[in-house]
Amino acid sequence: MRRKPNRNVKSGRKPKRKLSVQSLESRRLLAADSIGVTPEDTGEFLLGTVAVTPVFFESDGTLDPSTEDWDANEIDQILDKVHESVDWWSDTLDELGTVHTLDFVVDDLYARNPVETPYEPISRPSSQFNRYVGDFLTEQGYGDATSIEDGVKRFNHDQRLKHQTDWAFTIFVLDSSNDLDGVFPRGSEFTGAFAYPGGLFYITPSTRPTSTYTHEMGHIFWARDEYSGGASWDSHRGYYNTQNLNSLQNNPDPNFVPEPSIMLGGFSLQQAFEQNRSPATTLAMVGWQDSDGDGIFDVADVPLELDAVGYFDPIESVYRLKGTASAVALVNQNSWGTQSDITLNRISELQYRLDDGPWLVAASPDQPTVDFDLTIEIAESDFSTIHWRAVDQSVGVVSPTITGTTTSPAISNTSVSGIAFVDQNSDSLRDLDESSLGASTVIISNPDGSPLFAGASLAADFPAGDLPSDLSEFQTDATLSAVGTVFDNKIASLESADAGNVTVFQSFNLQQQRYTERWTSGGAAEVSFAVALDQPVGQVSVDAIGLDASSFARLEAFDSIGNLVARTTSEAIAMQESIEVQITDSSGRISEIRVTGHAGTGIAISGLRFGHAGSVATDASGVWRVTDLPQGSYRVEVVPELVIHQFPESSMLIEVSNGSSDMIVSAAARVDSPRHNENLPADTNRDGVVDALDALLVINDISRNDTRILSPTEVGGDDIDVSNDGMVSALDALLVINRIAGQQSDGQMSPAFGVGPGPSAEAEAVATTTGRQMANFLPPEIQLDQNALLNQNAQLDQNDNGEPPMLNFDGNRAYRDGLAPAESIDAAQADDRNNEIEAESESSNNRVSRQIEEPFDGLGIQTFSTETD
């Protein structure tokens, strides 16, 4: 875990806030909680915190004569060397005047208590270190390791977890205090100290000078030797894959004089050690490179990512911001190691600023990646604009700022975005009192209206066996292949027991002459799953299944000419666990991807999806956005949820350039529902009178089709949207019934329904009573109980046409037009029938009112009918 520096809380105005901030991923943290770190990555760059474990060996004389013996004073002296050597790097970092820190935790358990061994290590050739180091690893529980390097890596990783540091390495110290020359025997591969780079270990005779300890530690973090006979001038290593330009070996300049460097030898090394200096290229190999001179090394100088939408709610006087924030790793260019993309940066604070005021803290998550839902109490008069950003306070990197106003939302940069609202004053501008249109559908298509390029390939959709070379019959607009040294390029779809008996894509190993579900990096079995797309896209996702205790999936995306445009690595995946891993490019340039297991782990792949579905919905604030579209022209259509809203344009053309476009403002007019009688709202059948049949039409419609929002395809039929709110619900039936009751109350009739767009006066009154927010036109929460409404004991079986039955006022089965299937009726008979229903209704008004009112008593709906004498 990264050390958390103390921070001073900023002063300033702090509105009240409610917030929810949590880790975005419920990750199984196998290493320090930094983005991109795997158990294999124990020393990728020299920043943050480092656990150092010196291990001293003590010969016990059982195999080799014991010529060396540690004593307390000698142990203290060598531990001082260890501390001085690591401090040299911290002090040298401080001399550079950057924002960075470097701290060490020295675990001296195996130094204060030397590890017994039957060997006398300093008397053995240097190549035999595996004997005593191997015994130590076995005693620590790593006897099943595949190599010394593997065992030490696992030990280092556990030390990292134990001490909660970013990195860890081990120093094996061999007592040489009694040895004549203090080095390994003649003929050894190494005479003095030597190291295994990349967060592993170094081995040194105890009597080597502190500068040697310091030099060897440079190797742990990828620095190369620069002396003659060391690493070549044209070799590269480190996070930036830096060239070894200060090296004497194979240097093309015969007169080259190297700068003093801790990675040289002799006088130059000693000079660098005493002066706390080394060349820029040497320091770059350990991660210390500041290309723009701002005091932040390149590995950390990457803007944070803030992906959010915010808006001001004038009704509650709060500002809401919801989204995610994440640190972003610089692509690791190291030609050695795992090439994990790692950052130690964190989201220490989410900040906002009102107009030109100071930055204020909205939340302090202190996580590498978070999602959040912030609500800040703030008055309209407090601001004109509001700015948001994510900040890493310890390093000083921030996210791009997103800005909003009281009427315009704050939206992170995206390919296409917009806002939809009800334009009550028809000025095409959003005012605070104008309602947003949530749940509207936004359709993005090609300029000619054809769907966007998108597709999917699931292994289970193919017949078992080799995939055909032409996948067009499976509607797969991509070419699938395997890429590996000892692999055929063909792909098969086969079930895998190791993947949990799931059908997955498999490659064919030419050496073993068999199919394998394991996609992995490193070694002879390295093989990648390659997908070449017929058109560029901005999004690709893969279903990856873990094949190890902890697997990692890596996706790399390339443009049409083979340039790497994006790379991502999954969280740890448990054995047989399946997760979706997505890779995106904001400019939509992905033409090919390659997928494999990362850091030596293996994954299985069961499917992939690519492209954009082309349809999104507006959120509660009326905001919508579409990300990662390729550059070009698109048609945008915004369809309101309710038919009582109408946009002036059915669709529009927009241009996406450099991953963004102008915001689309969709101002909707309020119009009458196509199923509303604007002249006499309760007259649902438009016969000029309001009677029981009008109520029955609504009730039977609800019985048949349920309470619902009218769809654009339901523009014809009876005018059952009595309330003119774009929905059909119990409210519509109730309004008709109240109208009928008002007509029969000796002049105590309710006022006539208003004419023109908007809900009627009675609808407003009932809506207020039921708690419905008509201004927002939300779906009703009232669910009509058909049995209770007319006759709680009625049997709702199917009629002869297989439709739900309709009921009359007596609770008996009713047929369309009031007739049984065998009957027929003409216009004159219909009038007579209507008169009969009117007479029956008048004589039993009290009974009807009770039957209609009683089912709604528990819903808190107030009726406006009056009892007749």
Specify the CATH number for the domain of residue 466: 2.60.120
Sheet holding 410-411, edge to edge: 17-23, 369-377, 318-326, 305-313, 410-411
Q: Which of 596, 611, 626 is the last residue of a domain?
A: 611
- Concatenating the DSSP letter of every residue in 794-841 gives ------TTSSPPEE-TTSSEE-GGG--TT----HHHHHHHHHHHHHHH
Could you report the per-residue pLDDT of 822-859, keeping only the tens digit for each? Answer: 333 344 444 554 455 444 444 434 433 443 444 334 33
The answer to the question of residue 19 being in a domain is no
Does 638 reside within a domain? no
DSSP 364-390: ---BSEEEEEEEEE--GGG-SEEEEEE
Report if pTM > 0.85.
no
Q: Which of 222, 248, 269 is the last residue of a domain?
A: 222
Question: Tokens representing 659?
Answer: 């991953």
pLDDT digits (tens, 9 = 90+) for 670-703: 999 999 999 999 999 999 999 999 999 999 999 9
The pLDDT score that the predictor gives to residue 130 is 97
Within this chain, do residues 601 and 549 fall inside the same structural domain, yes or no? yes
Which residues span the domain enclosing 264? Answer: 225-285
Q: Are residues 382 and 316 in the same domain?
A: yes
Say yes or no: 178 and 269 in one domain: no
* Pair type for strands 416-422 and 664-670: parallel
Residue in this structure with the two tokens 């298509």, named with its chain if needed: 445
Q: Do 69 and 186 belong to one domain? A: yes
pLDDT value of position 758: 58
pLDDT of residue 776: 33
CATH number at residue 167: 3.40.390
Long-range contacts, 150-156 (Cβ 8 Å, 24+): 152/196, 152/200, 152/201, 153/39, 153/40, 153/42, 153/199, 153/200, 154/39, 155/53, 156/42, 156/43, 156/51, 156/53, 156/199, 156/200, 156/201
**pLDDT at residue 158 greater than cutoff 70:** yes
- Please choose, from the candidates 328, 404, 323, 390, the residue with its C-alpha nearest in 3D space to the C-alpha of residue 362: 390
pLDDT at 473: 73
Residues 315 and 459 in one domain: no
pLDDT at residue 785, as a whole number:
40
Beta-carbon count within 10 A of 659 CB:
19
Q: What is the side-by-side strand order in the sheet with 385-391?
A: 360-363, 349-354, 385-391, 402-405
The pLDDT value given to residue 522 = 81
Neighbours of 61 (CB within 10 A): 11
Q: For residues 217 and 804, what is the distance between their CA atoms, to the nearest angstrom?
A: 80
Q: For 426-483, how does the pLDDT look when each residue is reduced to its tens digit (9 = 90+)?
A: 999 999 999 999 999 999 999 999 999 999 999 999 999 999 877 767 767 999 999 9
Q: Compute CA 730 distance to the chain's CA centroid, rounded to the nearest angstrom.
A: 41
Is residue 720 located within the same domain as residue 757?
yes
| 403: CATH | 2.60.40.10
Tell me which amino acid residue 351 is: Q
Least confident residue range of 520-524, 615-619, 622-626, 844-848: 844-848
Q: Which of 127, 247, 248 is nearest to 191 (CA)?
A: 127
- The pLDDT of 805-831, averaged and rounded, is 41
For 414-433, give the DSSP string: -SEEEEEEE-TTSSSS--TT
pLDDT at 803 over 80: no
pLDDT exceeds 90 at position 29: no
Q: Is residue 239 in a domain?
A: yes
At residue 748, the pLDDT reads 42
**pLDDT tens track for 775-798:** 333 233 333 343 333 333 333 334
Q: How far apart are CA 637 and CA 753, in angstroms?
A: 34
* Across 149-171, average pLDDT: 98
Q: Report residue 749's pLDDT band, with 50, 70 and 90 as the boundaries.
A: very low
- Determine the pLDDT at residue 777: 30
Residues 403 and 529 grouped into a single domain: no
Q: Establish if 701 belongs to a structural domain.
A: yes
Please report the pLDDT score of residue 2 as a whole number: 35
Chain centroid to Cα 215, Å, comes to: 41
pLDDT of 541 > 90? The answer is: yes
Taking only the tens place, the pLDDT of each residue in 215-268 is: 999 999 999 999 999 999 999 999 999 999 999 999 999 999 999 999 999 999
Q: How confident is the model at residue 486 (pLDDT cuts 50, 70, 90)?
A: confident
The residue ranking higher by pLDDT, 599 or 789, is 599
Mark whether 507 and 395 lie in a shared domain: no
Mean pLDDT estimate for the chain: 86
Rounded distance between C-alpha atoms, residue 575 and residue 578, angstroms: 9
Statement to judge: residues 754 and 805 lie in one domain:
yes
Distance CA 646, CA 420 (A): 11
Residue 157 lies in a domain: yes
Task: Note the pLDDT of residue 832.
Answer: 54
Does residue 85 sit in the same domain as residue 164?
yes
Same domain (yes/no): 189, 311: no
Q: Which of 359, 383, 412 is the last residue of a domain?
A: 412
**Tokens for 702?**
């609800």
Residue 303: band (very low, low, confident or very high) from pLDDT cuts 50, 70, 90: very high
| Residue 764 binned pLDDT confidence (cut-offs 50, 70, 90) | very low
Predicted confidence band of residue 867 (pLDDT cuts 50, 70, 90)? very low
Six-digit token string for 824:
């027929």
**Would you say residue 559 lies in a domain?**
yes
Stretch 203-212: mean pLDDT, rounded?
Answer: 98
Q: Is residue 661 part of a domain?
A: no
Is position 10 within any domain?
no
Q: Where does the pLDDT of residue 23 fall: very low under 50, low under 70, confident under 90, or very high at 90 and above?
A: very low
pLDDT exceeding 90 applies to what percent of the chain? 79
How confident is the model over 58-111, as pLDDT tens digits? 999 999 999 999 999 999 999 999 999 999 999 999 999 999 999 999 999 999
Number of domains in the chain: 5
User: Contacts for 61-66 with beta carbons within 8 Å, 24 or more apart?
Assistant: 61/118, 62/118, 63/118, 63/119, 64/118, 64/119, 64/120, 64/123, 64/124, 65/120, 65/123, 66/120
Same domain, 252 and 401: no
Q: Which is more confident, 806 or 462?
A: 462
DSSP, residue by residue, 136-157: HHHHTT-TT-SSHHHHHHHHHH
How many other CB atoms sit within 10 Å of the CB of residue 654? 19
In three-state secondary structure terms, 729 is: coil
Residues contacting 689, CB < 8 A, separation 6+: 683
